[in-house]
Amino acid sequence: MIKKTVFLVCMVLVCFGIASPCFGEQKLLAMPVTEPPVIDGLAGDPAWENAQEIITLDKSSKMPITIKAVYTDTEFFVQVSFPDKDESRTHKSWIWNKGREIYTVGHDREDIIIFKWNMDSDPVDLSIVADNPHHADIWYWKACRTDATGYADDKSHLLSQTEEQDSTKIISKSGKTMYLLRKSDDGTSAYRIDLITDYGGKTLPRYIHQQPTGSRSDVKAKGVWENGTWTIEFRRNFITGHQDDVQFTTARKYLFGVSRYEIAGRNANKELSDPLYGTGDVNEPLWLEFNK
């Protein structure tokens, strides 16, 4: 109770610009369960009753994210919840341009949350503006593109001082030139673009949902928005057998960060583009440990 009160006071100070949005490290303690939770975005499963929660702050929106974790002999589960006044489940919809008689991309943006897991052997700063290089496993839940099929997208971030094809130039906290490469895991995604040429209405969905395959189907996830709050549940096997994933064991602890990627509902800004959106960076270093 004291920890929650202190956090809420800090959050108020941050929102009014009095305090920095950076907090100290926290530990997320995953509790063992015999009956795993159902991955449906509903928080009422008995498996979550004894799970310990932590509250961290999203760097860009300055809003709290509540996290819980449980595990079985072979699977790891995590639940996140955060306030959001709007349920944003569409993304870059096709908007008919009557004058040009073509569909153009709309300004609507889906709600998103990511988990960013350290893949390096030593602790690192996982920020996309870090001074140190790093390699991270990314679980990328998207309210429009992945939720319908019950998955989170599985990707990776590689931040380095070497420019590669498709990497984005980043200026680090201290002014270094770094390059961020975002790669999708092997396999097919849970969505693809629907290329529409003939008129079918003023506004149409841009994406078709499909079953993901390969390493890109490692993370199951489902979200529910109710009364101004998102609840999203994730499930992943401890061991995937894929080199592009972090592999879990109860004998270790794991550095990670979270971000809401709060872009939905914001005013359109043509200067904001992937992969930054002007937001979406992890903030507080978090550590996952398994309670035995």
Which pLDDT score is estimated for 266?
Answer: 55
Which pLDDT score is estimated for 276?
Answer: 47
SS3 149: helix
Residue 87 pLDDT > 50, yes or no? yes
* pTM assigned to the model: 0.88
Tell me which of 17 and 202 has the higher pLDDT. 202
Which pLDDT score is estimated for 20?
Answer: 36
Which pLDDT score is estimated for 109?
Answer: 86
**Distance (Å, rounded) from C-alpha 145 to C-alpha 193?**
10
**Distance (Å, rounded) from C-alpha 229 to C-alpha 248?**
29
Q: What is the DSSP letter of 34?
A: S
Q: How confident is the model at residue 14 (pLDDT cuts 50, 70, 90)?
A: very low
Residue 239 pLDDT > 60, yes or no? yes
Which string of DSSP letters, residue by residue, matches 158-218?
EEESS--TT-EEEE-TTS-EEEEEEEEPSS--SEEE----S---SEE-SEEE----GGGGS
Contact 288, 30 (CB under 8 A): yes
CA distances 50 to 9, 33, 41, 45, 254, Å, are 26, 9, 18, 11, 21
SS3 91: coil
Average pLDDT over the chain, rounded to whole?
88
Q: How confident is the model at residue 23 (pLDDT cuts 50, 70, 90)?
A: very low
Which pLDDT score is estimated for 271?
Answer: 56
CATH of 2-290, one of 3.40.50.300, 2.60.40.1190, 3.40.228.10, 2.60.120.260: 2.60.40.1190
Q: What digits encode the pLDDT tens for the residues 148-176?
A: 999 999 999 999 999 999 998 989 999 99
Residue 21 pLDDT > 50, yes or no? no
Contact 52, 29 (CB under 8 A): yes
Do the bridges between strand 207-209 and strand 191-193 make them parallel or antiparallel, or are there none, so unpaired?
A: antiparallel
Tell me which of 18 and 236 has the higher pLDDT. 236
Which pLDDT score is estimated for 96?
Answer: 97
Contact 99, 77 (CB under 8 A): no
Q: What digits encode the pLDDT tens for the residues 66-81?
A: 999 999 999 999 999 9
Which pLDDT score is estimated for 260?
Answer: 86
Q: What digits encode the pLDDT tens for the residues 93-144?
A: 999 999 999 999 998 889 999 999 999 999 999 998 999 999 999 999 999 9
Q: How far out from the chain centre does Cα 68 lie?
A: 15
Question: What's the average model confidence in pLDDT over 48-53?
Answer: 96
**Distance (Å, rounded) from C-alpha 262 to C-alpha 280?**
7
Q: How confident is the model at residue 25 (pLDDT cuts 50, 70, 90)?
A: confident
Q: How far out from the chain centre does Cα 20 lie?
A: 22
With tokens 């993304």, the residue in question is 91
Which pLDDT score is estimated for 263?
Answer: 57
**Distance (Å, rounded) from C-alpha 280 to C-alpha 18?**
22
Tell me which of 16 and 184 has the higher pLDDT. 184
Residue 35 pLDDT > 60, yes or no? yes
